[in-house]
Amino acid sequence: MLHEFTRTPRVAYFSMEIALAPNIPTYAGGLGVLAGDTLRSAADIGLHMVGVTLVSRAGYFDQKIDAYGRQIELPQMWDPEKSAQPIVCAKVSVNIENRVVWVGAWLYRIEGLGGGIVPVILLDTDLPENTPEDREITHFLYGKDAAYRFKQEMILGIGGIRMLQALDFSITKHHMNEGHSALLAVELLHRYTYQQRDLRPGEALYDLPAVRKKCIFTTHTPVEAGQDKFDYSIVDRIAQNEFIDLQHLRKLAGEDCLNMTRLALNLSEYVNGVAKCHAEVSQKMFQTYVVHAITNGVHPHTWTNAGFAALYDKYVQGWRHEPEQLVRIDQASEEELWDTHYNSKIKLLDIVHQSTGKQLDLDLPTIGFARRMTSYKRPDLIFSDMERLKNIAKKYPFQLILAGKAHPSDTRGKEIIESIHAHIHELSEDIKVVYLSGYDMSMSLELVSGVDVWLNTPLRPLEASGTSGMKAAFNGVPSLSVLDGWWIEGCIEGVTGWAVGNGDVGNDQGDINDLYNKLENSVLPLYNKRKEWVNLMKGVISKNASIFNTHRMIRRYATEAYML
Ligand SMILES: *Cc1c(COP(=O)(O)O)cnc(C)c1O
């Protein structure tokens, strides 16, 4: 079954989450969508890769919101049997808390548009030979406590390497998408030892350069606090029989605690951040390492809705394979571009009507905001001054659509969802605002294509890249966004959208004023000038979508990191 994949050497791409398809909930947000888009582009281009992740049978969670704006979290079980094939020829084990935990696998095929296939290995501990507790290790994405997540990371990193070997894959490089999979490098240490030499006391037993040569690390967190860390007490209790000695591990992963970022940095030859600004911030944080920059992208075919895909097919043949060609969208007429967008908007407002009972106005400028509900994203920034907001709406009526999940243990994130619902209530006479529950990939495509303006207001410099604005670009929707992450590279004022703030380090009050000024003086007054608005649509397609895609991104990884 796997022979077609194991004959050719491949790059192994490890990620705790991978968004494989809209009906498979093995992702929580941007990191997983990026992983899926990366592998979809690899399949399109015919790059030999293999994905490795957990099967996450209970998904992240399904979100409901009650009448008071309180988030309700439900498991989102999916059945791997319906979308993947069981791999029956191999089973590996990882020693956890002194028990043998068996790991099986499923094969999911990502089929590229040119016929290329990228296999994805979904690791699964839900096997009858495991204890009931161990069977759940691969169920809940980012679930439960630190001990549970450490076990998950052991399965991903250690179990993943063992599974690839058991299946006879030939791996040229291991790409860690964030630090969750860094234990793979520890597992590799066991395989690269100086066996033939007499060791003097204190001499390295492990061939670190050989392991580094095999590893690539992409970091996604611009702050120390966001890094994935574990107390050595947990590490020692859970993994005592699996690891290199703790003393050696401390040298590689930090003295105080096992810092997965540090571990990955120390064992990777190539390290990168996900936008130019993010790489600079990371370089300051990790001064003794070289941090390169490869800016993220999105997968063209996945993130272009049917209407725009048809328009591009008419004017920019081959855009799915060569999205650079979208610079030629200027050939489409004003009417065609506008009508295509208008149809997307009709569809979105239908969805809003069906799910909330509220009827939004097709002819009002509609602003969209959807992302993880967490404090640095400042989802409630636009509600900071309610009087000002109402006054702007009196002059230039507009409406607002929001969506997003808060991580179950992010109390502040859940409070933000509640406070947004209170604001919606308070504005009910003045501005129509709706909140859609259950933000996921399919809702994301409807939102980024159906609104007129895509809003993003993170606190600088905490947005490593952000990708939803790139999805909007593929659907001709300009961004109104704080200058952070990819937008520093993508924003041309008045041509691809608008900047909020001047790029200085986070300042709530400055950003709030600027946001209202831009809305009142630049964004909303332009909406009824059809010709100028369509020029903006052309600007964002030709100058953003042509660049901020995973085809460009994966080609850079291939030439700058994988071929090292
Ligand atoms: C694209 C996407 C994200 C990431 O968007 P950001 O702009 O990085 O916040 C998160 N969740 C879902 C469901 C997405 O489709």
Which tokens is 404 given? 């997003």
Pocket test for ligand 1, best of 20, 27, 33, 455 (most atoms within 8 A of CB): 33
The stretch 41-70 carries a mean pLDDT of: 97
189-197, long-range: CB within 8 Å, 24+ apart, which pairs?
189/244, 189/267, 190/244
Q: What's the 45 CA to ligand 1 centre distance in angstroms?
A: 24
Q: What's the 33 CA to ligand 1 centre distance in angstroms?
A: 7
Q: What's the 454 CA to ligand 1 centre distance in angstroms?
A: 12
What three-state secondary structure class fits 358?
coil
pLDDT at 186: 95
Pocket test for ligand 1, best of 34, 295, 441, 444 (most atoms within 8 A of CB): 444
pLDDT at 507: 76
In this structure, the answer to whether residues 229 and 314 fall within a common structural domain is no
In this structure, the answer to whether residues 438 and 523 fall within a common structural domain is yes
pLDDT at 241: 82
Model confidence at 212: pLDDT above 60: yes
Q: What confidence tier does 307 reach under pLDDT thresholds 50, 70, 90?
A: very high
Q: Tell me which of 435 and 199 has the higher pLDDT.
A: 435
Q: What confidence tier does 502 reach under pLDDT thresholds 50, 70, 90?
A: confident
Q: What's the 35 CA to ligand 1 centre distance in angstroms?
A: 12
In this structure, the answer to whether residues 348 and 415 fall within a common structural domain is yes
CB 28 within 8 A of CB 19: no
Q: Which atom of ligand 1 is nearest to the CA of 34?
A: 1
pLDDT at 503: 73
Pocket test for ligand 1, best of 372, 373, 375, 437 (most atoms within 8 A of CB): 372
Q: What's the 339 CA to ligand 1 centre distance in angstroms?
A: 26
Torsion of CA 78, 82, 84, 88, to 10 degrees: 100
Model confidence at 541: pLDDT above 80: yes
In this structure, the answer to whether residues 557 and 537 fall within a common structural domain is no
- Which residue's alpha carbon is at the smallest distance from atom 5 of ligand 1? 468
The per-residue pLDDT for range 344-382, each reduced to its tens digit, is 999 999 999 999 999 999 999 999 999 999 999 999 999
Q: What's the 371 CA to ligand 1 centre distance in angstroms?
A: 6
Which percentage of the chain shows pLDDT scores above 70?
A: 98
Q: What confidence tier does 234 reach under pLDDT thresholds 50, 70, 90?
A: very high
Q: Which atom of ligand 1 is nearest to the CA of 466?
A: 8
Number of H helices, E strands in the chain: 23, 19
Q: Please tell me the pTM assigned to this model.
A: 0.97
Q: What's the 266 CA to ligand 1 centre distance in angstroms?
A: 29
- Which residue's alpha carbon is at the smallest distance from atom 12 of ligand 1? 29
pLDDT at 379: 97
In this structure, the answer to whether residues 474 and 339 fall within a common structural domain is yes
In this structure, the answer to whether residues 290 and 310 fall within a common structural domain is no
For ligand 1, residues with CB inside 6 Å are 29-30, 33, 371, 439-441, 444, 466-468, 471
Q: What's the 392 CA to ligand 1 centre distance in angstroms?
A: 28
Q: What's the 39 CA to ligand 1 centre distance in angstroms?
A: 17
Q: Which atom of ligand 1 is nearest to the CA of 439?
A: 13
The total number of structural domains that make up the chain: 2
- Supply the range of the domain harboring residue 449: 306-547
Q: Which atom of ligand 1 is nearest to the CA of 485?
A: 8
In this structure, the answer to whether residues 279 and 407 fall within a common structural domain is no
Peptide bond into 461 cis (omega under 30): yes
In this structure, the answer to whether residues 233 and 322 fall within a common structural domain is no
Q: What's the 465 CA to ligand 1 centre distance in angstroms?
A: 11
- Which residue's alpha carbon is at the smallest distance from atom 4 of ligand 1? 30
Which tokens is 464 given? 């490593």
Lowest-confidence segment of 31-45, 68-82, 220-234 by average pLDDT: 220-234
Pocket test for ligand 1, best of 371, 436, 447, 475 (most atoms within 8 A of CB): 371
The CATH number covering residue 195 comes to 3.40.50.2000
In this structure, the answer to whether residues 283 and 196 fall within a common structural domain is yes
The stretch 540-564 carries a mean pLDDT of: 97
What three-state secondary structure class fits 506?
coil
- Which residue's alpha carbon is at the smallest distance from atom 13 of ligand 1? 440
In this structure, the answer to whether residues 346 and 275 fall within a common structural domain is no
The stretch 508-524 carries a mean pLDDT of: 96
- Which residue's alpha carbon is at the smallest distance from atom 3 of ligand 1? 30
In this structure, the answer to whether residues 277 and 344 fall within a common structural domain is no
pLDDT at 197: 59
pLDDT at 506: 67
Q: Which atom of ligand 1 is nearest to the CA of 28?
A: 11
- Look over the chain and give the mean of its residue pLDDT values, rounded to a whole number: 96
Model confidence at 198: pLDDT above 80: no
- Sort 359 into a burial class: Cβ within 10 Å, 0-12 / 13-18 / 19+: exposed
Which percentage of the chain shows pLDDT scores above 90?
A: 92
- Taking the C-alpha atoms of residue 244 and residue 255, their distance in angstroms, rounded to an integer, is 15
What beta strand segments (E) does 360-505 contain? 366-370, 399-403, 432-436, 453-456, 479-482, 497-500
Q: What's the 16 CA to ligand 1 centre distance in angstroms?
A: 16
Which residues pair with residue 99 across a beta bridge?
96
In this structure, the answer to whether residues 438 and 390 fall within a common structural domain is yes
